[in-house]
Chains A and B, each alone.
Chain A
């Protein structure tokens, strides 16, 4: 595979491998505090609300709403030349207020995208093998 033709693959960090492993099973999980139940994103070693040390990698509903988005038209990476225009979306997940993540919005005409539009997670395999969470309008 020619790496320059794909966006960078994620390199799991020590302690966050379960997130990527779950993605490979096409499941979306995030750290949830065992003490207070608070989800946190991006990963952190302790609860960002109550600072308790223990967490589970808990499943999410995979449902959310569009908080914001951008249609990227200018390629800044070799792989982007063939991909533009592509949509990067910031999704607020239904599981917790303010819990937001970045992904691509697939198969959406730019004019069809709207604030608060409901989306559902799906998974797409990176050429290097790792599955990545993505979203589609639901």
Chain B
């Protein structure tokens, strides 16, 4: 038997709420709505599911969700540290391991938050209103370094210095995600086209990071259900196979969210190391890629670290960005709009879109999509998967 997760678990249900600036309901209500939508999508009853995996940062308690859903028992529960941005595949990985090893029959992974309205979750783009700073933040916050956008600005500037990367290269990622959001009526930024000039005119947040280099802030919920290939046969949709999964972190992730881009390895290179070998494919077999887009400069760094090009070559790899854009691009990126323009569900919305594409049910469907790469946030401990269509 292969030592990897390859072929031993698959995604059978996806669901999400509307993505908004103010959901008007509790975070528990969002979680229940997303999960029940995913159960319906799968053709499963809550009583068929016996595991829940949550993002560490999620305020919802799995046992509370089990109570609401009428789940009589939970045989598997876990939290994924660094979720947050590291969590979208990080939650799916233990879910997949649980079903692959028989610890559970079917497992829910979810993310639900009122991150934009602040009703339950503090806005990530705002500093915590505390008079003192503790732990690692005691060395950052007294200097006015609070928000992820500010921290990654240091890495972005260093990348520009070392490799000649320019703001326009960051902008092509923002333009790509908005282009796809305008093909997706569910996206928060649907109907709001964006040009590279708009990006260049957007105000500076933390130089060189502009407003339009930053992801959205969103209220909403998203859920995914994982089970075994055997169980999946009886369900509503053709399953999407988890062809490979990887987590990654290094000691350098622990200092602060200031990425050490001079280090030869990164959290992403660790996550990527076995990914393509386990899936048995090369990069050119991918029909779409879902690169976690919290901040556009980090998308460039992820493209380098996942091996699409060498370190420092992302600016050449992306060109004018057209290769990432449907319908003609050779490497469609974040095809529902991503964290930047669909909604910020800590990346789970990207995984859901990958599943839609591999089922053949996406709004802007790629013909005969077989393989997709999905990554979690970089600059923090991360996770990644290669997903494969069936039939």
Whether A68 lies near B131 (C-beta < 8 A) is: no
Whether A9 lies near B132 (C-beta < 8 A) is: yes
Per-residue contact bits, chain A 56-85, to B (CB 8 Å; 1 contact, 0 not) = 000000000001111111101111100100
Whether A104 lies near B255 (C-beta < 8 A) is: no
Q: How many residues from B make CB contacts under 8 Å with A?
A: 41
Q: Which residues of chain A in 3-49 are interfacial with respect to chain B, using CB atoms and an 8 Å cutoff?
A: 3-4, 7-13, 41-42, 48
Select A77's contact among B134, B139, B146, B154, beta carbons within 8 Å.
Answer: B146
Q: Which residues of chain B in 256-271 are interfacial with respect to chain A, using CB atoms and an 8 Å cutoff?
A: 256, 258
Listed in ascending order, the chain B residues whose CB lies under 8 Å from chain A are 125-127, 129-147, 150, 153-155, 157-158, 161, 203-209, 211, 251, 255-256, 258
Select B150's contact among A4, A78, A88, beta carbons within 8 Å.
Answer: A88
Chain A residue at minimum C-beta to C-beta distance from B126: A76
By secondary structure, the A interface counts as: mixed
Select A12's contact among B138, B147, B203, B211, beta carbons within 8 Å.
Answer: B138
Select A74's contact among B134, B138, B206, beta carbons within 8 Å.
Answer: B206
Chain A residue at minimum C-beta to C-beta distance from B125: A76
Contacts of A130 in B (CB 8 A): 142
Whether B142 lies near A10 (C-beta < 8 A) is: yes
Whether A70 lies near B142 (C-beta < 8 A) is: no
Known contacts A9-B131, A70-B207; is-contact A42 B150 (Cβ 8 Å): no
Contacts of B255 in A (CB 8 A): 41-42
By secondary structure, the B interface counts as: mixed
Other than the known A71-B206, A103-B143, A115-B161, what 17 A-B pairs have Cβ atoms closer than 8 Å? A7-B141, A7-B142, A10-B141, A10-B142, A67-B158, A70-B153, A70-B207, A70-B209, A71-B207, A72-B145, A74-B205, A74-B211, A76-B126, A77-B129, A77-B144, A88-B150, A104-B143
Chain B residue at minimum C-beta to C-beta distance from A77: B127
- Is there a chain B Cβ closer than 8 Å to A102's Cβ? yes
Contacts of A3 in B (CB 8 A): 131
Contacts of B205 in A (CB 8 A): 72-74
Chain A residue at minimum C-beta to C-beta distance from B130: A8
Contacts of B139 in A (CB 8 A): 10, 42, 101-102
Whether B207 lies near A102 (C-beta < 8 A) is: no
Whether B143 lies near A132 (C-beta < 8 A) is: yes
Contacts of B258 in A (CB 8 A): 90, 102
A126 to B208, CA, bound (A): 28
Residue of A7, A13, A69 most packed against chain B (CB within 10 A): A7
